[in-house]
Amino acid sequence: MIELYESQRAMRNMRKAAMQRGVIAILDVGTSKIACLVLRFDGAERMDESQGVGSMAGQSGFRVIGAATTRSRGVRFGEIVSMAEAERAIRTAVQAAQKMAQIRVDHVIACFSGAGPRSYGLDGSVEVNGTEVTEQDIARVLSACDVPNFGEGREVLHAQPVNFALDHRSGLIDPRGQVGHTLSTDMHMLTVDAQAVQNLAQCVKRCDLELAGIANSAYVSGISGLVEDEQELGAACVDIGGGTTSVSIFLKKHMIYADTVRMGGDHITGDISLGFQVPIATAERIKSFYGGLFATGRDDSEMIQIGGDTGDWEHDRREISRAELIGIMRPRVDEILEEVRARLDAAGFEHLPSQQIVLTGGSSLIPGLDGLASRILGQQVRLGRPMRVHGLPQAATSAGFAASVGLCLFAAHPQDEWWDFEIPMDRYPARSLKRAVQWFRDNW
Amino acid sequence: MQPVSAPKKADPAPSRWAYRFERLMLTPLFRLTLRVALPFAVTFGGATLWFADQDRRDDFNLMVYDLRSSVVQREEFMVKLMAVDGATDGVAEDIREVLPLDFPVSSFDLDLDRMRETIVGLDAVQSAQVRIRSGGVLQIDVVERVPVVVWRGRSELELIDREGVLVRPIGSRLDYPHLPVMAGAGADLHVEEAMTLISSLGPLMDRFRGLERIGERRWDVVLDRSQRIMLPETGAVRALERVIAMDRAVEMLDRDVVAVDMRLPQRPTLRITDGAVKELWRIRAIEVGDNK
């Protein structure tokens, strides 16, 4: 397992180095847009972990000094399908953000939504060496988790211990120093398609940037979209993006499930384009300006010019009513939400103590979505906006930037993952100096 | 009408080289180099190259010299003569001798501090002020040392001022009859005390011949008829006053006394001449009645 995490550890070290230098870039590679934020870490007011989330929600340490968005190209379903196109789009976004920040960034933390994320729940348990739980015991219990066979060509993106139990006491956040016999842990592991990750890494590398971290956008939009009590009591964040809809479930401030529905706003646009025989750009404009999900009597009389430039007068003068538009959009949104419902059911969402559902992402701005979602997903539905961070431009505060903002928070306060804990002693090479030191410590 | 071929939409993405160039320009060190180091290097290198040629260097030096002299040699800065005030003729001559200046000279070329030190270095000068007065006059104000005593040193006669500093050597005592004389090694270090003694001589002044420093620690007052008043190391003035008082009372010094020894102040001792001793014995013998 250790070989698998070498790159993750390297990325973590690189992120630390970038934080020391004070500037890091955030790259949200989406299907419809690519957003780049440049963060500056002041280093001051670093939060104390033990105090939980404070008044500033742990974002007092950094500031957004550059932000840029560009239309995404070469990305479908949250995966890069055309390297050259995607590289140019990333270059555009990064350059504009750098220009705004007036500083060069070398390190990038990226997130993407596609690549078929799959969640696994792992558990492991070991006998504690001695009486107190030490770092080594945690390392051992983490390595004792039996990893399922997640298949060839997949890679672990997140592996977070979500719970520790000591003997019969469960729900421990930090068991170090506690006295007990049997230490067991639950871990959430998220695997994605390795090729998609490699493509993204390659793309970032071709932009002369270094990848300092990588995250799943379902996870990061959950971080920014859910408020603290929702994360604590159990909630699902549904990030309806352009090409994909990401679902993540949080409980006790840990993500316990994530999945992706490979449908999103682009499919609605495609339906409109197909239904009214208009170009994609026109369809997108109509969707944004006139889109809705609940038709009223008035919508029958509200006519929308859909235009065209064929030269045929009849064709170019076409009009549709808003009710027609709603009639096309609604089934697709229904379908997406049904899919989400299915994923939540599969994850056992109904067993959580609280079943709050937060809709975010660019497509959650469709009017009436919350009403429709509450019919399909349950009563506790709200629309979420990303929380405010320092220096974020007004243009980047809409629900479409939930993943970007979440990635900022993730960069500032990364959660401990498997590879951040100590490596158990017996995994070290036999002649390691660290092992010798450990032996001395154990025997004296 | 619609265009036959729609104009190709410009790609908003920067080319790879444009992107790299912009990143380079945003690098702080590179920008600093471009803004500071590069202009400095260009200027410095250009100047170095230009001055690498000997002829150009000479030309440049000549130009600088010409420029300087055109300012320095202006009429307003020229000093034409030197005025020495407060010095006697001999000292003024000495000053003119130690300051070899050929007028007119520019005031930029005069080092007034050095000149002042040179002048003060003369024996007869106590202090001096050197300045350039308007009108191109080098004004030297001198305060001379005032000789207060003639000191007979080991080899020659010297004039000494109140601070014990040599004013000048003299050939003959008779050139300065109004000054008192003192002698003995180390006397020049205690001129002040000597002057106090002389001023408290009072009625003995007309018999006073000189002071002598004995053993570099105490004074002898020498009167005419080779009489000496030997004073102690400390409290010399007081001892002298006692001697004067005794003289007044019994006219002691008018008698046949060689020396009044006050070295032990509580026990003044008289040394009398040989004849006087014999006379004293004779008188004693008469008093005792031994008339052989």
Give me the interface pTM, i.e. the ipTM.
0.72
Q: Count of alpha carbons within 13 Å of A261, Cβ hemisphere only?
A: 28
**Cβ of B22 and A88 within 8 Å?**
no
- Number of H helices and E strands in chain A, helices first, is 14, 18
**Contact between chains at B26 and A311 (C-beta distance less than 8 A):** no
Helix axes A265-276, A322-347, angle to 10 degrees: 150
CB contact under 8 A, B14 and A208: no
Q: H helices of A72-174, where?
A: 83-101, 135-143
Find the domain containing B108 and state its range.
75-144
Question: What is the number of alpha carbons within 13 Å of residue B239 lying toward its C-beta?
Answer: 22
Residue A60 is predicted with a pLDDT of 56
Q: What is the CATH number of the domain that holds B128?
A: 3.10.20.310
Short-list A195, A14, A11, A203, CA closest to A90: A203
Please indicate, yes or no, if residue B133 is contained in any of the structural domains: yes
**Do A267 and A342 touch, CB atoms closer than 8 A?**
no
A91 contacts B14? CB cut-off 8 A? yes
Chain B residues in contact with A89 by the CB 8 A cut-off are 13
Residue with tokens 């004849």: B275
Identify the pLDDT of residue A4: 52
Q: Count how many domains chain B has.
A: 2
3-class SS at A385?
coil
- Mean pLDDT within B93-100: 82
User: Which residue, A230, A188, A239, A258, is CA-closest to A353?
Assistant: A230
Both tokens of residue A336? 């997406």
SS3 content of chain B, % helix, strand, coil (to 5): 45, 25, 30
Closest Cα in chain B, distance from residue A108 (Å):
14
Contact A261, A361 (CB under 8 A): no
What is the rounded CA–CA span in Å between residue B39 and residue B36?
Answer: 6
Amino acid identity of A380?
Q
Using CA atoms, how far apart are residues A227 and B110, in angstroms rounded to an integer? 85
A 50-109: CB under 8 A from B: 70, 88-89, 91-92, 94-95, 98-99, 102-104
User: How many angstroms separate the CA atoms of B79 and B99, rounded?
Assistant: 14
Q: Are residues B207 and B275 in the same domain?
A: yes
Q: Which of A92, A102, A104 sits opposite B14 (nearest CB)?
A: A92
Polymer length in residues for chain A: 444
- Using DSSP's 3-state secondary structure scheme, residue B199 falls into helix
CB A87: neighbour CB atoms within 10 A? 22
- By the 8 A CB rule, do A354 and A228 touch? no
Query: Which of A88, A102, A103 minimises the CB distance to B13?
Result: A88
Chain A, chain B: beta-carbon pairs less than 8 Å apart? 34
Q: Is the Cβ pair A311, B13 closer than 8 Å?
A: no
- Residue ranges per structural domain of chain A: 1-116+192-223+387-444, 118-191, 265-331
Residue of A nearest to B31 (CA): A103
Q: Are residues B191 and B114 in the same domain?
A: no
Domain membership flag for residue B270: yes
Exposed e or buried b for every residue in B273-286, given b needs 16+ CB within 10 A? eeeeeeeeeeeeee
Query: Would the CB atoms of B26 and A89 count as touching at under 8 Å?
Result: no
Q: Do A98 and B27 touch (CB under 8 A)?
A: no
- Asked if A91 lies within 8 A of B12 by C-beta distance, the reply is no
Nearest residue on chain B to A105, alpha-carbon basis: B23
Distance in angstroms (rounded) separating the CA atoms of residues A164 and A252: 12
- Choose the closest CB to B26 out of A70, A91, A102: A102
Q: Are A208 and B20 within 8 A, CB to CB?
A: yes
B27 and A104 within 8 Å at the Cβ level: the answer is yes
Q: Whats the size of chain B, residue-wise?
A: 292
Using alpha carbons, select from B99, B138, B139 the residue that is nearest to residue B119. Answer: B99
Residue at A127: amino acid letter: E
Residue at A220: amino acid letter:
V
Whether B269 and B205 map to the same domain: the answer is: yes
At position A253, the amino acid (one-letter code) is K
- Are A225 and A239 a contacting pair, CB within 8 Å? yes
Q: What is the pLDDT of residue A55?
A: 43
- Distance between CA atoms of A123 and A418, rounded to whole angstroms? 13
Please check whether residue A143 touches B, CB under 8 A: no
Q: Do domains A1-116+192-223+387-444 and A265-331 have the same CATH topology?
A: yes
Tell me which H or E stretch contains A160.
Answer: strand A154-166
Residues of B with CB under 8 A from a CB of A: 2, 11-14, 16, 19-20, 22-23, 26-28
β-pair partners for B278: none
Nearest to A400 by CA among A371, A364, A357: A364
CB contacts, 8 Å: A311 with chain B: 2
Interface contact B12-A92, CB threshold 8 A: yes
Chain B closest-CA separation from residue A105 CA (Å): 8
The answer to whether residues A304 and A290 touch, using CB atoms and an 8 Å cutoff, is: yes
Amino acid at A389: V
- Same-domain check for residues B282 and B199: yes
Q: Tell me what pLDDT residue A58 has.
A: 46
Within a domain: residue B263?
yes
CATH of A1-116+192-223+387-444, one of 3.40.50.970, 3.40.50.1950, 3.30.420.40, 1.10.10.10: 3.30.420.40
The domain A265-331 is placed in CATH, from the list 3.30.420.40, 2.30.30.90, 3.30.428.10, 3.30.70.260, at 3.30.420.40
Minimal CA–CA distance to B181: which of B158, B133, B149, B203? B149
Question: Which of B15, B17, B20, B26 has the most A C-beta neighbours within 10 Å, making it the best mutation to test the interface with A?
Answer: B26
Distance between CA atoms of A289 and A274, rounded to whole angstroms?
Answer: 18
In contact, A241 and A269? CB cutoff 8 Å? no
Q: CB burial class (10 A; 0-12, 13-18, 19+) of residue B53? A: exposed
Contact A95/B27, CB-based, under 8 Å? no
Which pLDDT band, with edges at 50, 70 and 90, does B253 fall under?
A: confident
Distance CA B142, CA B122 (A): 11
Element (H, E) at B70: helix B54-72
Residues 6+ apart with CB under 8 A from A196: A79, A80, A112, A114, A115
Chain A residues in contact with B16 by the CB 8 A cut-off are 91
- What's the pLDDT score for residue A429? 63
CATH number of A118-191: 3.30.1490
**Which chain A residues touch B11 with a CB distance below 8 Å?**
88
Query: What's the pLDDT score for residue B258?
Result: 85
Distance from CA of B37 to the nearest CA of A (A): 20
Q: How far apart are CA A242 and CA A35, in angstroms?
A: 13
pLDDT over threshold 90, residue B36: yes
Cβ contacts of B52 within 8 Å, gap of 6 or more: none
Is B37 within a domain? Answer: no
Q: CA torsion B173→B179→B180→B181, rounded to 10°?
A: -30
Which helix or strand (DSSP H or E) is residue A339 part of? helix A322-347
Q: Which residues of chain A have pLDDT under 70?
A: 1-5, 43-60, 423-431
Residue A389 in tokens: 């961070």
All residues of chain B having their beta carbon less than 8 Å from the beta carbon of residue A104 are 23, 26-28
